[in-house]
Amino acid sequence: MRLELSGISKTFGAHRALREVSLAVPEFQSLAIIGPSGGGKTTLLRIIAGLETPEAGLLCIDGQPMSFSQEFLLAHRRSIGTVFQAYNLFPHLTARENVVLPLVKVHGVPASAAHEIVDTLFERFQLSGHADQRPAELSGGQQQRVAIVRAIAIKPRFLIFDEPTSALDPEMTAEVLDFIADLRGEGRDLIIVTHNMGFARQVSDHCLFIAEGRVLESGCSAELFSRPRHPLLVKFLAKVLRY
C-alpha cells in the first residue's frame, strides 16, 4: 500500500489541525501514526478514511487520487474497514446482527450469505459463543473484537484503526492488540493511530510522527523508534516510554 499527500490542510474553527502536510509514504503493509494528543493524527486518519474533507491539498492512495465529492467518498468509505475507539455497536442488536446488518443493508449481500460470512468469522475469531449476546452483555474487549470482525466482513481494501484500545483495561487491551497483530500476520493492510508505542513499533513497518499539525518525522518504524531525529519526537518518546 502507498500514500501520497500534497499540501493537506484542515481547520476546525480557529484551530489548524493540519498544516500543509506533504509526504510520500513508500510501500507498506502496516502504518502507525503516533504523536501527542491534538497534534493532528486522528484528523489525518479521518481524511484518509473519507470522513473529513481537507480545505486544501491532494491525497493519493495506491496511486489513485482521492476525489472529495460525496459520490466518491461514499464509495471509498464502503471499500475500507474502520474501527474506532468507541465500538459503535447498535445496543439493541446482537453481536451477530451488528455484523449482518451492514453487509445486507449497505453492501447488498443476501441475508443467507451474510449469515454464513458471520458464522465463519465468529468461529475463526472465537466469538461464536457470544453471537447472540447484545453489546451490554459483552466485555469491552469482546465488543471491540465484534467491531473489528464487522470491519473485515466486507473484505475491505485496507483497515483503519483509531485508538482501538483507549477505552479498554490492560488485559482487554492485550487481547485486542493480539487480534490486530493476527490480522497483520494474515497480510492485511493496516493504518493505525495509537498511543501504545510498544505495539506501534512491533506491528508497523512504517511510522509517522505528527505534532502541531505537521508530519515531523516519517520512516521505517525500527529506525524511527531506535534513532529518532526530530527534537519533539525525542522528547515525546522519552516521556511516553518513561514507565
pLDDT (0 to 100) of residue 126: 86
**Dihedral sign, Cα of residue 108, residue 111, residue 113, residue 118:** positive
Q: Given CA atoms 144, 152, 26, 19 in this order, what sign does their dihedral have? A: negative
pTM of the model: 0.92
pLDDT, tens digit, 9 for 90 and up, residues 77-131 = 999 999 987 778 999 999 999 999 999 999 999 999 999 999 999 998 889 999 9
CA atoms within 13 A on the CB side of 7: 4
Tens-place pLDDT, residues 68-83: 999 999 999 999 999 9
The per-residue pLDDT for range 28-53, each reduced to its tens digit, is 999 999 999 999 999 999 999 999 99
For 145-157, write each residue's pLDDT tens digit. Answer: 899 999 999 999 9
Half-sphere exposure of 127 (CA within 13 A, CB side): 33
Q: What is the pLDDT of residue 210?
A: 97
CA distance 233 to 239: 10
Confidence of residue 170 (pLDDT cuts 50, 70, 90): confident
**pLDDT given at position 178:** 85
Alpha helices in the chain (DSSP H): 41-48, 70-79, 95-105, 111-124, 140-153, 170-185, 197-203, 221-226, 231-240
Q: What is the pLDDT of residue 52?
A: 94
Q: What is the pLDDT of residues 181-228, one digit of tens each?
A: 888 888 999 999 998 898 898 889 999 999 999 999 999 999 999 999
CA 28 vs CA 61, 128, 154, 204: distances in Å: 12, 33, 22, 9
pLDDT for the residue numbered 4: 96
pLDDT tier at 243 (50, 70, 90 boundaries)?
low
Domains of the chain: 1-80+160-169+176-243 (3.40.50.300), 89-155 (no CATH)
Orientation angle between helical segments 95-105 and 111-124, nearest 10 degrees: 140
| Neighbour count for residue 48 (Cβ, 10 Å) | 23
DSSP state of 232: H
Query: Strands 190-193 and 30-34, how do they pair?
Result: parallel
DSSP state of 175: H
Residues 177, 32, 122, 101: is their CA dihedral positive or negative? positive
**Which residue type, as a one-letter code, is found at position 180?**
I
169: pLDDT strictly greater than 70: yes
Q: By CB neighbour count within 10 A (0-12 exposed, 13-18 middle, 19+ buried), where does 32 fall?
A: buried
Contacts of 4 (CB under 8 A, 6+ apart): 23, 24, 25, 58, 59, 60, 63
